[in-house]
Chain A
Amino acid sequence: MNHLIILPVLLPAVLGAGLVLARRVGLRVQRLVGLAGTLALLTLAVLLLVQATTSAAQGYFLGGWPAPFGIVLVLDRLAALMLVLTAALAVLVLIYATATGWDARGAHFHALYLFQLMGLNGAFLTGDAFNLFVFFEVLLIASYGLMIHSGGAARLRAGVQYVAYNLVASALFLIALATLYGVTGTLNLADLAGKVARLAPGDAALIRVAGVLLLAVFGIKAALVPLHFWLPASYANAPGPVAALFAVMTKVGAYAVLRVFTLVFPPETPDTGHLFANLLLALALATLVVGAIGVLGAATLTRLVAFAVIAGVGTLFIALADFTPQGTAAALYYLIHSTLAGAALFLLADLVAARRAGCGLRNALPPIAQHGVIAALFFVAALAMAGMPPLSGFVGKLMILDANRGPGMVLIWPIVLLGSLVMIAGYARAGSRLFWKAHELAGPATPHPAQPLAFAAASALLAALVALTVFAAPVMRYLDATAAALHGPSAYIAANALPGALP
């Protein structure tokens, strides 16, 4: 067995637990361990990506128990891609958090950060539905701690809402899993794929209930309208770097939808058919509309970015709802893009908020320290997020439109294009309020330390977007292969080595 596969879960768990025990060692050691840990995770993720590219999907059987009885981790192209994306984001955001001193404003930042990464990595690697629930809980518990990091009345109140919403989601997840188990008698994803395809005719209604419940749970995680209400308040009130890391949390929902609804409930399933695809497309279009309107009407910059994340999720799910290899590849490209762009915007919003009391958009406020650099970075990030050429958002949206040339085109194209237009107006309004109108007001900028590392981290995220645009062809070759493997999951199922399956 390839023991590298368990390390993305094990390493942050051990380091995080160590940091909790060694709380007295001081911030410097904590920072060192945190940075070394995330860098090690990035190296590990790249190694696993290379392995996933060169060989077929591999299973890792925890405790040596065979697949449908024990828990199995599966490394395939999609899992490896998500690991690399998470680790790269984590390194940059952690550099930002240390450079701006966010990690010093409360206890246990680095430990919670590592636990969050453990939950994310585990959710991407696991091949077992109940284990997916457990890793969801791990990443949520860590996110509760991170979200209220450094305290404050508004943050705590938003935190209660966030925790309550997610606890209800967890209850729904358990009900879905229990229904699934009651019908099929298994929770291993590969085993489920085989069992759901050959179900007794009387169980069709139950399996549909289980599927729609799972879709609702993943929809809550991904913030699909009408289950998105937790997102704006939580992300807008979370500390800047934490919100940037959370940009990958909505993508966990997208990942779970992609995994479960291509493997267990593909459109060829006789009992469910195109039920989920149709539901997803309607919800995705509504999500994009709500997100775009939110971007235009947001009262603060952090809220604007939160709605931009929602709009990004909508665009992503429009491509996902296709359930064709072409649509999935476009969705994956957009997933990488919107994670990086959303995180960059959250970091920039935090840079603005730190230099001004808050980041309101209602009234023009005096200029801030390092005005020009922040304005330029915001311009680039907004350009990318809105989907304007020449950056990756444009390439991603182009591919999503291209994948939707069917009969749905009449509905999808106008909404995507008009949504982009509305969002461009929203960013233009925000940018001019924040940066141009400031010059009409008298008064010099309040001095603020330059923090070159923080700017470097935010710029690196934007540089990654540029790289994603320049190297779109090799990235798409990888993503096309990933999408093909998702829609023909024989290698994934073979990696589970189920008894009775053909070798």
Chain B
Amino acid sequence: MELLVASAVGILTAAGVYLILRRRTFPLIVGLAMLSYAVNIFIFASGRLAIGSPPIVADGVLGYTDPLTQALVLTAIVISFAMTAVIVMLALAAHLATGSDQTDRATEEEAG
């Protein structure tokens, strides 16, 4: 399982970084989403990997899985979801206003 989780984080990060460097808004947004998935899995794994254990300490239960990282992941998911919505709207507005979805075009308007 360690191999599976570690390679999932690695592949998602690699794909995310590659897409973010594509200089167009659609791949950029997909890449950011991939990166946030990778981060979420990574946070989850930082509480140690455990299968079939309850997230609370109770009498008669041996071992438990760390509940804190699950709470952290929930917060991170909510924030990254909201941020994806924000950047989608912003990218659409920029596309409609400028007629191009290049993200790295220099802004000629500002060059005095």
What residues of chain A have their CB less than 8 Å away from a CB belonging to chain B?
130, 134, 137, 141, 144, 148, 151-154, 156-161, 163-164, 167-168, 170-171, 174-175, 177-179, 181-182, 233, 236-237, 299-300, 302-303, 358-363
Q: How far is the CA of A175 from the CA of B107 in the complex (A)?
A: 33
Contact B72 A130 (CB under 8 A): yes
Is residue B75 contacting chain A, with contact meaning CB distance below 8 A?
yes
A154-B110, A164-B20, A299-B110 in contact; A159/B94 too (CB < 8 A)? yes
**Given the complex of chains A and B, what is the CA–CA distance between A358 and B79 in angstroms?**
36
Are B83 and A157 closer than 8 Å at their CB atoms?
no
Query: Is B50 interfacial (CB 8 A cutoff)?
Result: no
Closest CB-CB distance, B112 to chain A, in whole Å?
A: 2
Q: Is the CB of A358 within 8 A of B112?
A: yes
Contact B39 A171, beta carbon cutoff 8 Å? yes
Name the contact of B69 in the complex, choosing from A181, A300, A360 (C-beta under 8 A).
A181
A130-B72, A156-B90, A164-B32 known; A181 vs B46 contact (CB < 8 Å): yes
Question: A164–B112 contact, CB under 8 A?
Answer: no
Give 8 A-B pairs besides A156-B90, A178-B45 with Cβ atoms closer than 8 angstroms. A157-B98, A161-B104, A164-B28, A171-B36, A182-B48, A299-B110, A299-B111, A362-B112
Return the contact of A167 from the options B32, B43, B48, B103 (Cβ within 8 A).
B32
> What separation, in Å, do the CA atoms of A271 and B28 have in the docked complex?
37
A-B contacts, 24 listed (Cβ < 8 Å): A130-B72, A134-B75, A148-B90, A151-B97, A154-B110, A156-B98, A157-B98, A159-B90, A163-B83, A163-B86, A163-B87, A164-B103, A170-B83, A171-B32, A174-B39, A178-B39, A178-B43, A178-B46, A299-B110, A303-B110, A358-B109, A358-B112, A361-B112, A363-B112
Using known A-B contacts A148-B90, A156-B93, determine if residue A178 contacts B111 with beta carbons closer than 8 Å.
no
Known: A159-B90, A171-B35, A178-B46. A236 touches B98 (CB 8 A): no
Partner pick for B110 among A164, A171, A237, CB 8 A cutoff = A237
Contact between A175 and B94, CB atoms less than 8 A apart: no
In the bound complex, CA of A178 to CA of B104 (Å) = 31
Interface residues of chain B: helix, strand, loop or mixed (majority): helix
| Shortest distance between the CB of A263 and any CB in chain B (Å) | 21
In whole angstroms, what is the CA distance A179 to B39 when docked?
11
State whether A170 touches B90 (Cβ < 8 A).
no
Whether the pair B82, A141 counts as a contact (CB closer than 8 A) is yes
Scoring B20, B32, B90 by chain A CB atoms within 10 A of each residue's CB, the highest score goes to B90
CB distance from B68 to the nearest CB of A (A): 8
A160 to B90, Cβ gap below 8 A?
Answer: yes
Partner of B79, one of A137, A161, A177, A182: A137
List of B residues within 8 angstroms of A362 by Cβ: 111-112
A153–B45 Cα distance when bound, in Å, is 42
Q: What CA separation (Å) do A179 and B69 show in the bound complex?
A: 11
Which single member of A152, A168, A360 contacts B35 (CB below 8 Å)? A168
CB pair B90–A144 under 8 Å, yes or no, is: yes
Which residues of chain A are within 8 angstroms of B47 by Cβ–Cβ distance? 181-182
Q: Which residues of A contact B93 (CB under 8 A)?
A: 148, 151, 156
- Residues from chain B with a CB closer than 8 A to the CB of A363 are 112
Check if A164 sits within 8 Å of B39, measured CB to CB: no
Q: Which residues of A contact B109 (CB under 8 A)?
A: 153-154, 358
Closest residue of chain A to B96 (Cβ to Cβ) is A156
Contacts of B83 in A (CB 8 A): 137, 141, 163, 167, 170
Q: Tell me, yes or no, whether B8 is within 8 Å of chain A by CB.
A: no
Q: Is the CB of B90 within 8 A of A175?
A: no
Instruction: Give min CB distance, B39 to chain A, whole Å.
Output: 5
Q: Is B30 an interface residue, CB under 8 A from the partner? A: no
Q: How far is the CB of B2 from chain A (nearest CB, A)?
A: 13
- Return B17 CB to nearest CB of chain A, in Å: 9
Asked whether any CB of chain A lies closer than 8 Å to the CB of B76, the reply is yes
A157-B94 in contact (CB<8A):
yes
CA distance A492 to B32 in the complex (A): 37
Bound-state CA distance A151–B94 (Å) is: 9
Task: Contact check, B97 vs A144: say whether CB atoms are below 8 A apart.
Answer: no
Q: Which of A156, A168, A174 contacts B76 (CB 8 A)?
A: A174
Q: Which of B68-86 contact A (CB under 8 A)?
A: 68-69, 72, 75-76, 79-80, 82-83, 86
A360 touches which of B32, B46, B103, B112 (Cβ 8 Å)? B112
Given A181-B46, A237-B110, A360-B111, verify A161-B103 contact (CB < 8 Å): yes
| Alpha-carbon distance between A141 and B84 when the two chains are bound, in angstroms | 11
Q: Which chain A residue shows the least CB distance to B40?
A: A174
Which residues of chain A are within 8 angstroms of B25 by Cβ–Cβ distance?
160
CA distance A163 to B105 in the complex (A): 15
Nearest residue, chain B, Cβ from A359:
B112
CB B83 to nearest CB in A, in angstroms, measures: 6
Most buried by B among A160, A181, A358: A160
